[in-house]
Chain A
Amino acid sequence: QQQVKQSPQSLIVQKGGIPIINCAYENTAFDYFPWYQQFPGKGPALLIAIRPDVSEKKEGRFTISFNKSAKQFSLHIMDSQPGDSATYFCAAIGGGTSYGKLTFGQGTILTVHP
């Protein structure tokens, strides 16, 4: 019940395309859903996050869509650039007192061709 399932495993788009990464969760106690971006040799960095009382959040070219009833959320990257090539992880946290206990998805390797 603690799992977060992420798809696809890898994604290739052309510059300007709109890659979409999907995640699904089971634990209804989760109440905060961040996305992290990780470049090779670096630690994950927070990209954008959403709470389940909001259906959509946009920051720059990154948008999270959230469907509470389906227990699904997704990341859209508008006007993707080669510099967006990285591994993206969805995550979830909630239910309890472990502030730092994020449950991560398996990751999506995004490649944006020039």
Chain B
Amino acid sequence: ETGVTQSPTHLIKTRGQQVTLRCSSQSGHNTVSWYQQALGQGPQFIFQYYREEENGRGNFPPRFSGLQFPNYSSELNVNALELDDSALYLCASSSPPRTGELFFGEGSRLTVL
């Protein structure tokens, strides 16, 4: 167990709706990253938050947005859901200095109908 918890574990939405996913980072970690993992694919970087500010963004449209709170927990918000947004959304926490050692949660499985 990594200590990174995500909620909800599964959810179903319809096209055009909005969704909020939540993540609690591992104790002592002040950096949170979000990844999208489509079925049968590797995770794709969405964005990262460090000390409540976005610090790096992947190739995702602005309808993907996020927040990080003072306790380092984080939210991922997706507006105007599309069918292709169906995926496993992974949250990972880490601590500087820069490292690729990320601690992932078990993910939130989103299905868009």
Chain A residues engaging chain B, CB cutoff 8 angstroms: 6, 32-34, 36, 41-46, 49, 89, 91-93, 96-107
Contacts and interface: CB of A to CB of B under 8 A. Distances in A.
Nearest to A41: B106
B98 A105 contact: no
Interface of B: 2, 4, 31-33, 35, 40-45, 48, 50, 55-56, 58, 90, 92, 94, 96-107
Contacts of A100: 31-33, 45, 48, 56, 92, 94, 102
Given A43-B4, A45-B2, A104-B42, A32 B100 contact: yes
B70 to A, nearest CB: 19
Contacts of A45: 2, 104
B90 A44 contact: yes
Given A44-B90, A99-B94, A100-B94, A34 B101 contact: yes
B56 A101 contact: yes
A107 B41 contact: yes
A98 B56 contact: yes
Contacts of A89: 42-43
29 contacts: A32-B99, A32-B100, A36-B104, A43-B4, A43-B90, A43-B104, A43-B106, A44-B102, A45-B2, A46-B102, A89-B43, A91-B100, A92-B100, A93-B98, A97-B56, A99-B55, A99-B99, A100-B45, A100-B56, A100-B92, A101-B33, A102-B33, A102-B35, A102-B45, A102-B100, A103-B45, A104-B42, A105-B42, A106-B42
